Chains A and B, each alone.
Chain A
Amino acid sequence: GAGVSQSPSNKVTEKGKDVELRCDPISGHTALYWYRQSLGQGLEFLIYFQGNSAPDKSGLPSDRFSAERTGGSVSTLTIQRTQQEDSAVYLCASSPGTSGGPRQETQYFGPGTRLLVL
């Protein structure tokens, strides 16, 4: 496919369990972003990858959240010991990257993973 894909599309889990969310960016895009969108809220920046490295982890809400990216492509966001307040839509976006200058920063979003923690 040509767009950003995310899996699963929906995830229901019990409080205290770990979850993994996956993002497949557009082929060739070097920058990848994770956001969280809670009901009625704006997008909350979580983490940004340039290639496989994450120069900015300041948005991760707690040490229960971690993310990695391998091969400059697929990224996984892991939430350990989930809490009810983690329920939200987790959105991934990719962009061509900064090497081309500001005009490469347009982000293309995936459909999101809807996480519900019971």
Chain B
Amino acid sequence: EDQVTQSPEALRLQEGESSSLNCSYTVSGLRGLFWYRQDPGKGPEFLFTLYSAGEEKEKERLKATLTKKESFLHITAPKPEDSATYLCAVFQTGNQFYFGTGTSLTVIP
């Protein structure tokens, strides 16, 4: 069965303490892997799309990487405003999106 798993479920970091979020997937026919940020009470906000193993994307303190089985979202020197839930989604042939359940990140000042 196709599956997207994110870990950890929750992560608490001190401001400036770098870490990584993981998204592992078992779907076949991957057409793209997406990272989103979701703030409470709002819809997800697009961050990155990765299409092939070895690809990397960066935006401010965030860097996303992709292998054949997983993706990492690296957060360097996070700030309190980076606190949010980070969602990973895979786009499969047949126009199916599969979302993980997210990692809730809290950055403490």
Chain A residues in contact with chain B, CB under 8 A?
Answer: 4, 31, 33, 35, 40-43, 45, 48, 50, 55-56, 91, 93, 98, 102-103, 105-112
Supply 9 further A-B pairs (C-beta < 8 A) apart from A103-B49, A111-B41, A112-B42: A42-B99, A50-B95, A91-B44, A102-B31, A102-B51, A102-B91, A109-B36, A110-B43, A112-B43
Residues of B within 8 A of A4 (CB): 43
Cβ-based interface call for B102 (8 A): yes
Residues of B within 8 A of A102 (CB): 31-32, 51, 91
Interface size on B (CB < 8 Å)? 25
One digit per residue, 1 when the CB lies within 8 angstroms of any chain A CB and 0 when it does not, for chain B 19-45 equals 000000000000110101000011111
Cβ-based interface call for B109 (8 A): no
A109 to B31, CA, bound (A): 20
> Do B87 and A106 touch (CB < 8 A)?
no
